[in-house]
Structure 1
Amino acid sequence: MKTLFGFACALATATLFTASIFVNADTVKDVTTERISRNDSANWLSYGKDYKEQRYSELDQINVGNVAKLGLAWAFDTDFNRGLEATPIVVDGVIYVTGNWSVVYALDARDGRLLWKYDPKVPKEWAKMACCDVVNRGVAVYEGKIIFGTLDARLIALDAASGEVLWETATADLKAYPYTITGAPRVAKDKVFIGNGGAEYGVRGYVSAFDVNTGKELWRFYTVPANPADGFENDAMARAAKTWTGKWWEYGGGGTVWDSIVYDDELDQLYIGVGNGSPWNAKIRSPEGGDNLYLSSIVALNPDSGEYIWHYQETPAESWDYTATQHIMLADMAIAGEQRKVIWHAPKNGFFFVIDRQSGKLLSAEPYADVNWASHYDLETGRPVEADNARYRDAPELIRPSSMGAHNWQAMAYSPQTGLVYIPAISSLFEYNSVEEYLHQWGQWNLGIYLQQPAVADPILSQLLTSKITQGSLLAWDPVKQEAAWQVSHKLTWNGGILATGGGLVFQGSADGEVLAFRADNGEKLWSFPAKTGVMAPPVTYTVDGEQYVTILAGWGGAFGLIAGLEREVTPPPSRVLTFKLGGNGVLPENPLKQLHEPPPRLTTDEAILEKGRNLYYAYCNACHGTEAISNGAIPDLRHLPAAFHNSFNAIVLDGIMSKAGMVGFGEVLSEDDAYAIHAFILERANVDKELRAQSDWWKDLKIWFFSLLANFIAWLM
């Protein structure tokens, strides 16, 4: 009888489950350009909430007076434990979100119950072509479809009710260039707009529009010109080619549109943020100079045809990975007594731009972070006034911001209550140093600079320098006065995107594993929750059955999360969807300690071999396995591998016997002597770590105290 009762309950639940999906499917069919423009407060219908992408919700049930009572309503574990960057899309009680490897989940917004999941089966080998982790920043919803891009550059539309594939199209020729997609598509006027990534490897950037019903390509706009001998796609490319020299097309040129794409429903224009050059080093890709259009530009296009309307180049001849792909926000503001339709933009280069979105004219540009590559912008010419040493032509130079930027992909937010833009700001610097001989290698990082920074022998000092020299903050910026209103420092950098609400609150996740709420007017911290892992993604808020929720993705990784070399003593938990409500009382389990394996003895003490190994490690391994071989744990920490991996080192590194797990072979670019040197460097770092762990606690505490003072002093000097 108990079995029959259980079956009856299961049947009833399944019937209700199916009905709830199809009710939702009907409402998703109502998501159109007009509905996204209306921006209803109960839902989160597009990446930036509406087409202005201000990420402000009018909801105020959760507010400054009661946010202290906020608690975990539910948590959903995804299938992996790597970085999460997606903005959840919420439509009438259902959340649609992407995780690692471009997997899509549909969840009940009330309790986190899985409704359906779709795995596009991205080949794990393609992870090598993703500069910045196997991440995805989310889906678009439109007329009953869930649309998303995959790491291997496909665009897929799913049925919102069932997760079944409606259409799929390849957006790139992967044999020509190693493209990826990590950005969220935007949809308007029955068109899907999507770009791609890959500029670190050497690709030619573009943005494309596809028919939302069939997946058919409608138009494509390239951001950099190809070989002039082959002709140009349009006049915009012909004009751009005049700003390049040399044989840039042999290196791809770069200019990928990997994140910000914004449709202006008032002016019927499409704005794209264009990325960095390939290679980064401008004197290699364009040796006789030139601005290299349309790198590091905002470009306005006709959304129906893809035709060029205007552009503004924020960083001419960019040479520092200063992309303009960061969050583009649309606004209206009074300037000199005249109401203007503007773009607010805080890109990597450290200046906050106010740009007339009708004409592309620069109206204002002021530094919102520490900057030394340029002193200011000349408003007559619209160009930066660069420092004499900014281009590291003759010697290595310490430049602010670093290639990580003063602000990266993590979304900003704006509150009309305060008139402030909230920026997940970064303070960083990087030693730019031109390579002596540039060798372009297909499928490898091709930057034209050395990635490795000066070596620090002691791991404790290295860790402290990482956290002191590179710092993060929540910056409240007044776009009218072009100055900071307030700023809250975080313990680490690479903190999460922002949400502003009608409750007078600003929400943000932090790199050290908290979800936080601040007063929007003065930055006072009012609430926090331990997420058990770093939080990079931006929060959203919505209501179901009259109750307000806040949802955010928690999972540490991305570019800095992988490369930073920040030591973690615990194993990363499953990357999660966390949802909060007033009175929630959920808790998360503790993370287990990471497993340490005894390393083999050092292979050599020969300094020349170890230095060669370090250089090769930074060229081919660092982007995934971390600075000085310190991993974040989601990807194996090479210092703590079991003996079997060391015994099979060449088979793994050269022959690629673990390709199906994502660790491809490098036999095309590395020799056995190279592999030996890399292995020697890794075992050197492993044994240094082993010896450090064997030291007494009092000695380690003393070193931490002294090195903290030293790191603070070095950071102050820089």
Structure 2
Amino acid sequence: MMAKGFMSAAIGAVALLLAGCGERGAERSPLATEGVTDSMIAAGVGDEWLTYGGGYDEKRFSPLDQINADNVSQLGLAWFADLDTARGQEATPLMHDGTLYISTAWSMVKAYDAKTGALKWEYDPQVPRSKLVEVCCDAVNRGVALYGDKVYVATLDGRLVALNQKTGKVVWDKLTIPKGSHMAITGAPRIVKGMVLIGSAGAEYFTRGYIASFDAQTGEELWRFYTVPGNPADGFENEAMEKAAKTWNGEWWKLGGGGTVWDSITYDPQTDLVYFGTANAEPWNPAYRNTDGAGDSLYTASIVAVKPDTGEYAWHFQETPEDRWDFDSNQQITVTDLEIGGKSRRVVMHAPKNGFFYVLDAVTGQFISGKPFVDGINWAFGLDPVTGKPDVNPEAKYELTGKPWIGVPGAVGAHSWSPMSYSPMTGLVYIPTNNTPQYYAHDPNWEPGETGFQLGIDVSGGNIPADKAVREATKEALNGALVAFDPVAGEVRWKVPQPSPTNGGTLATAGNLVFQGTSTGEFRAYTADTGKQLWSFETQSGVLAAPMTYAIDGEQYVAVLVGWGGVWDVSAGKLAGGITPNISRLMVFKLGADGKLPPLKPTPALVLDPPAPTGTPEQIALGEKLYSNSCSVCHGISAVAGSLNPDLRHSATLGRKDLWQQVVHDGLLSENGMVAWKDQFNRDQIEAMRLYVLKRANEDKALEGK
């Protein structure tokens, strides 16, 4: 999945320098003829925004041009709605028939009057807060789907729920993940031919990835395509799985395999294919899944195409064979026609974590081109111009060299889930990019556990010391950019540097505009052809989500969800810079509006006052390793938390060994999301983690006093 909290690596780097055709379910229901229909989604964006990426092609381009480069300076806040979920907000709103539909953190759904902002209804699926331990990167949800008279949301605890569009009442509620699994769902469902398509997250938790199809009217499962092969002794579901098994070694199925489909799903009516991206192999470290020798671990870190009616395999292209760096290929997949070599070709375009921009033939998956869209890539020297296979740097294979590797990009990715957009008017793709190196090291003593990440690596060597100069240098070196990329020429046309990574997704419009929110609390508009900033609005909180636009009664609106969180907050903490408080809101803009946000409430500063440090050097060293590889996922690298989760340096349990054990070992706060870790660590190991955090708290207290 995404960077998954292991920003100790990212920051330390700078500091150191079918079932394819599964069993068929019930017969498919007739296609919708009223409400939101297949033909409406296929028509793409107009006055309404009906699906996550705007249309089947996922271009996130709107032909609306009432708001344009000449008048965007007159854009103002029309209305806003505060949300009751103080976590990261990543959804793209949908608009149909005058109603704006959003999902929020914890998979809640709300419906608003798109013109006035009046709340029409809201739905809470009551996701258990303990589920958070099985989610890499915050309790986020990226959006709903619309079809017929229903709204569909996939919940963090693995359900697919259909709601009535007018009332929000539950029509049906289906569990889509195996009972008892560590899977979760953070992505937005997609509608294809009367079916709802969804995958799952969790490629760090011993899971077997898949994409599945459900009847939009009844919720019955129609087919399921697994992305990695299961136990050969059970037989293979299809030929695709049998072929994939030849690229794995050892007893990989006991560790799940990974390859989850946690975000990108694109349907192209012209080719009648569904394209989706897959996550990393599990564990990250190939030493523990390819024990008999190297293998590509299909179909992880790949784009896969299947036939929508049956889920039958069509083709695949693996972008990162034998992925060991968490280079998921789940980033948005865009379909379009490009003129290449003097001929028009139907292509899929992809900017995955690994830093190369891929153009593939949409019918066959044939590699057309792959060029860097960021600087500094060091895991590969380049791509083969014919096959697209990477020329991997031997030093990047940390499990073979036995030496730590500082990779660029890191696990956050050169581009992660934040959606890109494509303007057919400029021919450019607008990509939110990241510069976050990562520290990777083989852990020779790793053993599979029951709770938390199961990666096979040790990132503790990338922790940041309590040194003011090092910390300032780290903040300066970690950053992002908005990149305008020419997919035909394979070149960056313009770039807007940004002081922090993980900025919001983008929207391109016919008004020669690109909209994007920033992690530091602005919503901006740029010229699409040159990248000149024309307008900005202070949002009071970081923006992760992508904006959308719609029109009602002749007026164009632009909407965006605001609310800081996600992977950079929960794992990188304040050490990385660019962290803003979480103020979760839906904000809607139009020309001539003059709405104001309420003034920010002052946030009281927390003063470090920990008990005196104690413990042996051996205990503290053990605690650092265990904390870094498990706890930093939520509580931040070097025990410095972000804005969402508790900062353990300030915890009342820090000076109370017994209470620390009750919380961490026994699960005293399970209902708040802090589950018991007794199946992963013994009491001595948990005490070692306390002693490490205690040491870090005292170091930072001394640093603050300087």
Q: With structure 2 as the length reference, what TM-score do the two structures score?
A: 0.92
Cα distance change of structure 1 residues 600 and 384 upon mapping to structure 2, 3 Å threshold: closer
Cα distance change of structure 1 residues 48 and 152 upon mapping to structure 2, 3 Å threshold: same
Distance 2:690 2:478 in 1: 29
Q: Does 1:674 align with 2:685?
A: yes
Q: Does 1:194 align with 2:213?
A: no
Deviation per residue, 1:551-578 (Å, 9 max, x gap)? 1111111112211122689983431111
- Contact 1:80–1:574 (Cα < 8 Å) also in 2: no
Q: Does 1:636 align with 2:640?
A: no
Q: Does 1:582 align with 2:588?
A: no
Structure 1 residues 266-277: aligned runs within 5 Å: 266-277=270-281
Q: Does 1:316 align with 2:341?
A: no
Distance 2:347 2:622 in 1: 50
Which of 513, 526, 536 is equivalent to 1:528?
Answer: 536
Q: Specify the alignment match of 1:596 in structure 2.
A: 606
Q: Does 1:412 align with 2:412?
A: no
Return the letter of the residue paired with 2:277. Answer: G
Partner SS, residue 439 of structure 1: coil
Cα distance change of structure 1 residues 390 and 590 upon mapping to structure 2, 3 Å threshold: same
Q: Please state how far the C-alpha of 1:597 moved relative to its aligned partner.
A: 5.4
Distance 1:400 1:148 in 2: 35
What's the Cα RMSD here?
1.9
Distance 1:157 1:692 in 2: 52
- Contact 2:369–2:388 (Cα < 8 Å) also in 1: no
Q: Specify the alignment match of 1:112 in structure 2.
A: 117
Distance 2:690 2:604 in 1: 22
- Contact 1:532–1:591 (Cα < 8 Å) also in 2: no
Partner SS, residue 460 of structure 2: coil
Distance 1:572 1:526 in 2: 26
Return the letter of the residue paired with 1:178. Answer: H
Partner SS, residue 137 of structure 2: coil
Cα distance change of structure 1 residues 462 and 116 upon mapping to structure 2, 3 Å threshold: farther
Cα distance change of structure 1 residues 560 and 265 upon mapping to structure 2, 3 Å threshold: same
Distance 1:246 1:473 in 2: 41
Q: Specify the alignment match of 1:708 in structure 2.
A: none
Partner SS, residue 403 of structure 1: coil
- Contact 1:81–1:572 (Cα < 8 Å) also in 2: no
Q: With structure 1 as the length reference, what TM-score do the two structures score?
A: 0.90
Q: Specify the alignment match of 2:264 in structure 1.
A: 260
Q: Specify the alignment match of 2:507 in structure 1.
A: 499
Cα distance change of structure 1 residues 453 and 31 upon mapping to structure 2, 3 Å threshold: farther
Cα distance change of structure 1 residues 40 and 615 upon mapping to structure 2, 3 Å threshold: closer
Structure 1 residues 219-258: aligned runs within 5 Å: 219-258=223-262
Q: Specify the alignment match of 1:622 in structure 2.
A: 632
Q: Please state how far the C-alpha of 1:610 moved relative to its aligned partner.
A: 2.2
Q: Please state how far the C-alpha of 1:323 moved relative to its aligned partner.
A: 1.0
Q: Please state how far the C-alpha of 1:355 moved relative to its aligned partner.
A: 0.1
Q: Specify the alignment match of 2:518 in structure 1.
A: 510
Distance 1:569 1:58 in 2: 33
Q: Specify the alignment match of 2:10 in structure 1.
A: none
Distance 1:352 1:591 in 2: 42
- Contact 1:572–1:591 (Cα < 8 Å) also in 2: no
Cα distance change of structure 1 residues 502 and 121 upon mapping to structure 2, 3 Å threshold: same
Larger Rg: 1
Q: Please state how far the C-alpha of 1:644 moved relative to its aligned partner.
A: 9.0
Deviation per residue, 1:442-490 (Å, 9 max, x gap)? 3320111113343332254454344333220000000110000000000
Cα distance change of structure 1 residues 570 and 293 upon mapping to structure 2, 3 Å threshold: closer
Q: Specify the alignment match of 1:22 in structure 2.
A: none
Work out which structure has the larger RCO, using CA pairs closer than 8 Å and 6 or more positions apart in sequence: 2
Q: Does 1:329 align with 2:334?
A: yes
Q: Specify the alignment match of 1:13 in structure 2.
A: none
- Contact 2:224–2:311 (Cα < 8 Å) also in 1: yes
Distance 1:103 1:29 in 2: 26
- Contact 1:74–1:112 (Cα < 8 Å) also in 2: yes
Q: Does 1:650 align with 2:661?
A: yes
Q: Specify the alignment match of 2:95 in structure 1.
A: 90
Q: Please state how far the C-alpha of 1:83 moved relative to its aligned partner.
A: 0.6
Return the letter of the residue paired with 1:618. Answer: S
Partner SS, residue 394 of structure 2: coil
Deviation per residue, 1:627-667 (Å, 9 max, x gap)? 11222222112222346995722211111111111111212
Distance 1:620 1:400 in 2: 22
Deviation per residue, 1:501-559 (Å, 9 max, x gap)? 11111111111111111111111111111111111100001112211111111111111
Q: Specify the alignment match of 2:28 in structure 1.
A: none
Structure 1 residues 425-574: aligned runs within 5 Å: 425-458=433-466, 460-461=468-469, 463-566=471-574, 572-574=581-583
Partner SS, residue 277 of structure 1: coil
Q: Specify the alignment match of 1:386 in structure 2.
A: 392
Q: Does 1:54 align with 2:48?
A: no
Q: Does 1:372 align with 2:356?
A: no
Cα distance change of structure 1 residues 634 and 271 upon mapping to structure 2, 3 Å threshold: same
Partner SS, residue 102 of structure 2: strand
Distance 1:573 1:289 in 2: 44
Q: Specify the alignment match of 1:182 in structure 2.
A: 186
Partner SS, residue 623 of structure 1: helix
Q: Please state how far the C-alpha of 1:146 moved relative to its aligned partner.
A: 0.4
Which of 279, 283, 289 is equivalent to 2:283?
Answer: 279
Name which of structure 1's ranges 239-248 and 207-216 shifts more when overlaid on structure 2: 239-248
- Contact 2:451–2:677 (Cα < 8 Å) also in 1: no
Cα distance change of structure 1 residues 569 and 348 upon mapping to structure 2, 3 Å threshold: closer
- Contact 1:331–1:341 (Cα < 8 Å) also in 2: yes
- Contact 1:104–1:118 (Cα < 8 Å) also in 2: yes
Q: Specify the alignment match of 1:685 in structure 2.
A: 696
Distance 1:649 1:509 in 2: 39
Distance 2:329 2:589 in 1: 33
Deviation per residue, 1:289-323 (Å, 9 max, x gap)? 11111111111101010000111111111111111
Deviation per residue, 1:575-616 (Å, 9 max, x gap)? 111111122222322142145255331231643322222111
Query: Percent of aligned pairs with the same residue?
Result: 46
Return the letter of the residue paired with 1:284. Answer: Y
Distance 1:173 1:515 in 2: 40
